Amino acid sequence: MEIRSTFNSTKSYKQHYHNQLSLGLITSGSTCLKLKEGDILLKQGDMVLIDPLKPHACAPIEQKPRSYYMIYINTDWCLQKMSGLKNTSVSLDCSPYVIQNPSLFDTFVRLMQNNSDVLSELEQLIEATLLLYTNLPSKLNDKNTRAVSIRNHLLADFENIPSLEELAQQHGCSIENIIRLFKKDFGLSPRAYLNSARVEKGKKLLKKGNSIVDVALDLGFADQSQFHHTFVKYTASTPRQYQKSIFDNNS
């Protein structure tokens, strides 16, 4: 589990996704969550659930500052807990996206503002939230098998990333078709999907204490500066700020 706190920020976040289930709590101001299905206005007191791998972007309203907490919850942990609670095999399907439950909101905020060890209480609260606000999909949304194959090829080796031309040639389709498949099945262009995947992998490596230079090279960036620029676009924080915040939270 990873918790991120942001205070009085006017930064926007480029369209991206997270491997984990995301739970957000708006503690002041308002923000616009942009999804494929449309824009959602989130205001103080609102909570929002975002499925793993769900493309989204976020921007302040009229450039006014807003504050919020984000909790990123391991997907396997969520599935294990939900399967046990519902006594059946499940997949995550968060609905509604927006939760308006003042008592639940206040309890989350109280726990996250508590300096003592509250991990166990927080996990119990997350379990209760999942039980209340996630569905059992009647039919899973299977991705196009060619799209999945191309995606896996694209992400297979960050140090040797294939070009769109190489992907098109090896998978027997046009570049335009690849772009259409990605946008239809994954909600992002191939480049945006790749960069979001590299940023997510970068977070894991930074958590392990790897140097920023090594992480940049491992992810196929030309240099640290290029990694820094991409990381900021997708997270609104620098790699060093992110790594420091992780170590601060663990101290």
51-65, 109-123, 125-139 — most confident range: 51-65
Question: Token pair of 211, please?
Answer: 């140097």
Q: What is the pLDDT of residues 184-213, one digit of tens each?
A: 888 899 999 999 999 999 999 999 999 999
pTM of the shown model = 0.76
Q: What distance lies between CA 44 and its chain's CA centroid?
A: 21
Place 251 in a pLDDT band, splitting at 50, 70 and 90: very low
- Give the pLDDT score at 186: 87
Is residue 134 pLDDT above 50, yes or no?
A: yes
- 145-250 is classed CATH 2.70.150.10: no
Q: What is the pLDDT of residues 138-188, one digit of tens each?
A: 444 556 788 889 999 999 999 899 999 999 999 999 999 999 999 888 889
Q: What is the pLDDT of residues 219-249, one digit of tens each?
A: 999 999 999 999 998 888 899 998 887 765 5
Of 40, 101, 39, 112, the C-alpha closest to 69 is 112
Average the pLDDT over 52-62 and give the result.
91
| Alpha-helix residue ranges (DSSP H) falling in 134-174 | 145-155, 164-171
Contact yes or no for 230/199 (Cβ under 8 A): yes
Spatial neighbors of 73 by CB under 8 A, at least 6 apart, are 1, 20, 21, 22, 23, 126
Superfamily (CATH) of domain 2-133: Regulatory protein AraC (2.60.120.280)
Which DSSP string corresponds to 106-136? HHHHHHHT--S--HHHHHHHHHHHHHHHB--
The reply to whether 145-250 shares the fold of 2-133 is no
What are the residue ranges spanned by the domains of the chain? 2-133, 145-250
Percent of the chain with pLDDT over 70: 88
Distance (Å, rounded) from C-alpha 1 to C-alpha 119?
Answer: 9
| Cβ neighbour number for residue 16 with a 10 Å cutoff | 20
- Give the pLDDT score at 89: 59
Q: What is the pLDDT of residues 58-115, one digit of tens each?
A: 999 999 999 999 999 998 888 887 777 666 656 666 765 899 999 999 999 999 888 6
Collapsing DSSP to helix, strand or coil, 67 comes out as strand
Contact yes or no for 199/67 (Cβ under 8 A): no
